[in-house]
Structure 1
Amino acid sequence: MVIIYIFFPYLSNTVIGDPVEGQSLIGYLNAVAGFIMALTVPFMGAIADKIGRRKPWIVVSHIFLVVTAIALWWVMPDGQGLGLLVTFALLLVMIVAFGYSEVFHNAMLPSVAPRNKTGLVSGLAFSVGNMAAIVWLVLILFAFALPGTQDWSFLPEAPLFGVDQEAHEHERMVGPIAAIWLIFATLPLLFFTPDGDPSTNSILQDVKEGLGEVLETIRQAKHYANVGIYLVARMFFNDGMIGVLVFNGVYATGVFGWDSTAMLILGVLTSGSAMIGAYLGGLLDDALGSINTLKVAIGMTTVILLLLISIDIGVIFFVWQVGTEPIWSIPYYNSISELFYLILFQIFALFFVTGLSASRTLMAKLSPPEMATQFFGLYSLSGTVTAFLAPLMVGIATSTFQSQRAGYGALVLLMLIGMVMLFWVKEEQATVAPRS
């Protein structure tokens, strides 16, 4: 809700007020966040392996997420509320905290699912997450965004609880809503899942040994060559795929002028597609293997991105003029080009979440169980060490060519490089290297 569908588009088009400049600035923001995570994530994973327990780390990262998400309520246009500098600082902390939490969440996968079911469990987890997103997006849509804008009998006459649409409260409220949901969704994880055994050493000793483990792993890079190739490949394809999702809202609102209601509808539909894709992707993963599933997912998302950037107002496939006349009376997605974009993005969501799930499952299969968190720290690093690259490419290409299409399309190169590198990866579990 915050990054993809509502708040980032609101920030770009309403608070900043220029979709091209907004896309460029958001690109640079994500680039800085990626650089910070690249410097810190692998060490945190190794230290957590030594300390044993992952849940305390999750709690701390979630506290930062909750606080920063609530603060987004005070981000307003026209110089009111929090300024842009404070807003970007909050978002920077939020993105980094989310990246940290992912490391420890992912590292718990081998301990909660048998090896032959990790694909299914990973896929189900993404499905449940998208199901929750659908519920909240539908609630915001029908309780706060649509009332007062459409004369439909099933809608309230005005937004519930006095929400002021002119003050963009229906867009600003997504931060606090996400924070509340995060609190409740974290409780089952804390109370009903196993955690690692706590270390008997002092914190200082665990930190020292954890840092040593990272350096030792680097020295043993040749032993872990297969995992290394995979992680390098992931640097590229993950950066590209995440970039498509993150910048989709900013791109679509800039090209088509979609408002927050249109983005909410897009979010509901996309979350539904992602939920289906996560479940089917989990089944496909267990049937074809993680590496083959991942290749299919990256290939399809690359093709779809090329098709997405071929669309403009009244144009598809770059040159085919399809007109701008309304094709139905519904006030949303009522031109051929908009509807085509909407449908294509649903297909992208199917394969994107399939790839996301297969990527995590493959890491669980390749990693030595004794070093799960450290390797998932490196896994997260592979998604963050170049996490600045995709946003930076988007930002530079957008500002250089003054074109959102050029910026968005730059992501194709990253996805292609990552997919090609996967052909050198074998789906086999590594063993712990003998210490030198």
Structure 2
Amino acid sequence: MGHPDDAVRLDDTVEPTPAPRQVAAWAAWDWGSAAFNAVVTTFVFTVWLTGSSFVEPGADVEAAKALHSQWLGWGLAAAGLLVALTAPALGALADAGGRRRPMLAVMSAIVGMSVLALWFVEPAAGGMSDAVRLGVVLLAVGTIAFEIGSVAYNALLLQISGPRTIGRISGIGWGAGYVGGIVLLLVLYFGFIEPEVGWFGITSEGGLDVRVSMLIAGVWFLVFAVPVLVVVPDHPRKDRAGRVSVVGAYRAVGRHIAQLWREQRSTLGFLVASAVFRDGLTGVFTFGGVLAAGVYGFSPGDVIVFAIAANVVAGASTIAAGWVDDRFGPRRLITGSLVVLVVAGSAVFFLHDAGAGAFWVAGLMLSACVGPAQSASRGLLARLAEPGHETELFGLYATTGRAATFLAPAAFSIAIGLGGAQYWGVLGIVLVLAVGLALFVLVRFPHGRGVDGRRDVLAGVV
């Protein structure tokens, strides 16, 4: 049975000092994950896959690009659905055996191999559609494995930290991901993609520059996935009574949700609220480039420069916010970040005629708050997790997040339809963030878990 909402975990008042070696090994996975998040799904491969390179000669370019974008959307939507259906049960299985590293190892291997296999996605006359389909399938497989692997990875946070250090260590991980993305993007952009003839004589003919970038990204991910698997220990369960079957895992998830409703309604409330505002956070980066180019007149090069700057700001602010999280608590950090996001997002809307400078200021303000809100959300959930249910809870975290992924895109499109101009779309994202903020503020969290900062942990009582 779990603790009720107002229970105090007295053993949380004393905790060992986190081992720097384990923290660095754990954060290395976040660093390596930039190969998938930044290079594959955001700035390089998906842009290439849905661009003019895969349009058959003589075909309608815009129609083909739209069709390929639809295929990409449907493929990732199917991947998200599978993650939503499987992540909680797989998390329950991992918890039952107390073995999260094997789950993380298998999923990391699948991600790395999926990225390496993108080398075979090659534009060739007469086979463009087949190439796009292959790319979408590989992306979907990689996405499923990445999201499920993240469930186990997030749960390992509890094995290298305690209530007073969760925020700092989670922030280091998120920050490492942003910095890793910057480093890899710079290497690939200036080494292969931007020059006419890149390193080792690589050119853009046949998409060779992008395909070689996928090989480098795949190796990058696999290499940096190793440290956490070697250095961070698992805590296997000694009792075999906890072992469950797949069917039993789904039953365990159902019982866990029912138990959360009865005894830890705050945790369930947080899962719902975070699903909404996390989708808004994703929308900030997803549509930021679209708004920069379409509303503020950024060139493609300007967009890349802004993306790198935004990642620098996001990484630095996320690492710094980790100390704020531990000192003042994730509740205050998330609330403050969401308030700034709503204000800065509104500024993007109202200053749409003010020029590129206005977007730079408001956009970097948005970037500075996205990472801290994401990291603090992970740390807050880790504080609420009950022993033996950590991976399952992060599975529910992934599921609720996936269930809400339609909110920001839908709100963005609806707002544009209502306003009749592209810049209206930002109001849709702001609305999602505002609703998430309102839901989050209504959640009543338990005391003694560090949700309200260091003094909360030290006192253990209100």
Bucket of the pairwise TM-score, normalised by the shorter protein: 0.7 to 0.9
CA distance in 1, matches of 2:421, 2:203: 33
Matches of 2:67 and 2:421, distance apart in 1:
10
For residue 350 of structure 1, the aligned residue among 368, 371, 374 is: 368
Residue from 386, 391, 394 that aligns with 1:368: 386
Q: Which amino acid aligns with 2:335?
A: K
The one of 209, 219, 223 equivalent to 1:180 is: 219
Partner of 1:58: 104
Change (3 A) 1:92 1:407: farther
- Aligned match of 2:77: 31
2: CA distance, partners of 1:343 / 1:245: 15
Instruction: Rate the CA distance shift 1:51–1:246 in 2: closer, same or farther, 3 A.
Output: farther
Q: 2:154 aligned to 86, 90, 106, which one?
A: 106
In structure 1, C-alpha distance between the alignment counterparts of 2:120 and 2:292, rounded to whole Å:
25
Q: Distance in 2 between matches of 1:415 and 1:164?
A: 42
Are positions 1:425 and 2:443 aligned together? yes
Structure 2 CA distance for partners of 1:427 and 1:137, relative to 1, 3 Å: same
Tell me the residue number matched to 1:317: 351
CA RMSD of aligned residues (A): 3.2
TM-score for both structures, normalised by structure 1: 0.81
Aligned-partner residue type, residue 413 of structure 1: L
User: 1:415 Cα deviation (Å)?
Assistant: 1.4
- Kept in 1: contact 2:93–2:244 (CA 8 A): no
Shift of 1:215: 1.9
Residue identity in the other structure for 1:49:
D
Alpha-carbon distance, 1:353 to partner? 0.4
Q: Report the Cα offset of residue 22 of structure 1.
A: 6.7
Displacement after TM superposition at 1:213 (Å) = 2.0
Which residue of 1 is the match for residue 133 of structure 2? 85
Equivalent of 1:40 in 73, 82, 86: 86
Counterpart of 2:175? Answer: 127
The alpha-carbon deviation at position 406 of structure 1 amounts to 5.2
2:115 matched to which residue of 1?
69
Q: SS of 1:205's equivalent?
A: coil
Instruction: Tell me what 2:338 maps to.
Output: 298
For residue 165 of structure 2, what is the aligned residue in structure 1? 117
Match among 263, 270, 284 for residue 324 of structure 2:
284
The letter for the 2-side match of 1:241 is: L
Do the aligned partners of 2:192 and 2:213 also contact (CA within 8 Å) in 1? no
CA positional deviation for 1:285? 0.9
Gaps of 5+ in 1: 149-157, 311-315, 323-335, 432-436
**Match in the other structure for 1:238:** 278
Moved more, 52-61 or 128-137: 128-137
Secondary structure of 1:352's partner?
Answer: helix
Give the aligned partner of residue 95 of structure 1.
143
Cα drift, residue 416 of structure 1? 1.3
Per-residue CA deviation, residues 245-300 of structure 1 (Å, 9 max, x unaligned), is 234345545664743x5454334322211210111111221222101100111222
Q: Structure 2 regions of 5+ residues with no counterpart?
A: 1-38, 56-60, 450-462
The answer on whether the counterparts of 1:141 and 1:264 sit within 8 Å (CA) in structure 2 is no
Q: Percent identity?
A: 26
Residues 180 and 254 of structure 1: is their aligned pair in 2 closer, same or farther, counting only changes over 3 Å?
farther
Deviation per residue, 1:335-355 (Å, 9 max, x gap): x42x54344333222110000
Bigger relative contact order (CA 8 A; separation at least 6): 1
Q: Do the aligned partners of 2:93 and 2:243 also contact (CA within 8 Å) in 1? A: no
- Preserved CA contact (<8 Å) 1:30 1:387: no
Q: Is the 1:4–1:247 Cα contact (8 Å) retained in structure 2?
A: no
Shift in alpha-carbon separation, 1:343–1:95, aligned structure 2, 3 A:
farther
Deviations 1:75-121 (A, max 9, x none): 45575565333222222222222111111111111111121010000
Whether contact under 8 Å (2:76, 2:139) holds in the other structure is no
Higher helix share: 2
Partners of 2:316 and 2:204 in 1: how far apart? 32
For 1:251 and 1:174, how far apart are their aligned partners in 2?
A: 27
Q: Which residue of 1 aligns with 2:312?
A: 272
Name the count of aligned residue pairs.
Answer: 399
The answer to whether the 8 A contact 1:367-1:429 is kept is no
Distance change in 2, residues 1:180/1:166 (3 Å): same
Residue by residue over 1:162-204, the C-alpha shift from the partner in whole angstroms, topping out at 9 and shown as x without a partner, is 1213544334444322211111111110111121215664997
User: Which moved further from structure 2: 137-146 or 38-47?
Assistant: 137-146
Which residue does 1:3 correspond to in 2? Answer: 41
* CA distance, structure 2, for counterparts of residue 92 and residue 391 of structure 1: 19
Return closer, same or farther for 1:203/1:286 CA change in 2, 3 Å cut-off: closer
* 3-state secondary structure, aligned to 2:195: coil
7-16 or 285-294, larger mean C-alpha shift: 7-16
Alpha-carbon distance in 2 for matches of 1:162, 1:249 = 30
The 8 Å contact of residues 49 and 132 in structure 2, kept in 1 or not, is answered as no
